[in-house]
């Protein structure tokens, strides 16, 4: 997924801390995770063409570790064309699709400062949950080897 890494790897303002969230990649680059310096996950993105909605939903469901139910309606799909990506191509064919889940789209969104949120381990290999205001940057496996 070189296109995703080279063109779509942008930073964004984190909804958790107002810092800059950058993309880290999993699954050989087919999954991107927007994380801020505090390791809060703003968004999980799957790249490809075609994409498997069931597989992606199950991936996100595993990441949130049973703290919420991920429905098909929690996942958005975007099509990326050559013109959309700023690529100079003879045709404006579909380049790839993105499927993404964002914590802020949760149906049960709460402003409770102690609510549970998804974070990505600083070792870059796993997700974990903690209070949204938590300051842990490592999953329990990495904290307690």
Give the pLDDT confidence score for residue 52 in this predicted structure.
93
Instruction: Determine how many CB atoms are found less than 10 A away from the CB of residue 96.
Output: 19
- In this prediction the pTM is 0.85
Q: Is the pLDDT of residue 40 over 90?
A: yes
Sheet order of strands, 41-48 included? 12-13, 20-26, 31-35, 41-48, 94-102, 75-81
Q: What does the pLDDT average to over 97-113?
A: 75
User: Which pLDDT band holds residue 46 (cuts at 50, 70, 90)?
Assistant: very high
Give the pLDDT confidence score for residue 36 in this predicted structure.
93
């Amino acid at each position: 997924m070189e296109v995703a890494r080279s063109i779509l790897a942008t930073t964004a303002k984190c909804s958790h801390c107002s810092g800059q969230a950058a993309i880290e990649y999993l699954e050989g680059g087919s999954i991107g995770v927007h994380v801020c310096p505090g390791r809060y996950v703003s968004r999980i993105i799957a790249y490809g063409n075609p994409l498997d909605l069931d597989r992606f939903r199950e991936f996100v469901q595993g990441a949130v570790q049973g703290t919420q139910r991920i429905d098909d309606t929690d996942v958005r799909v975007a099509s990326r064309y050559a013109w959309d990506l700023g690529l100079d191509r003879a045709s404006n064919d579909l380049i790839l699709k993105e499927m993404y889940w964002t914590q802020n789209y949760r149906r049960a969104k709460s402003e409770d400062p102690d609510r549970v949120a998804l974070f990505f381990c600083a070792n870059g290999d796993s997700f974990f949950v903690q209070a949204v205001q938590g300051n842990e940057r490592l999953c329990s496996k990495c904290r307690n080897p």
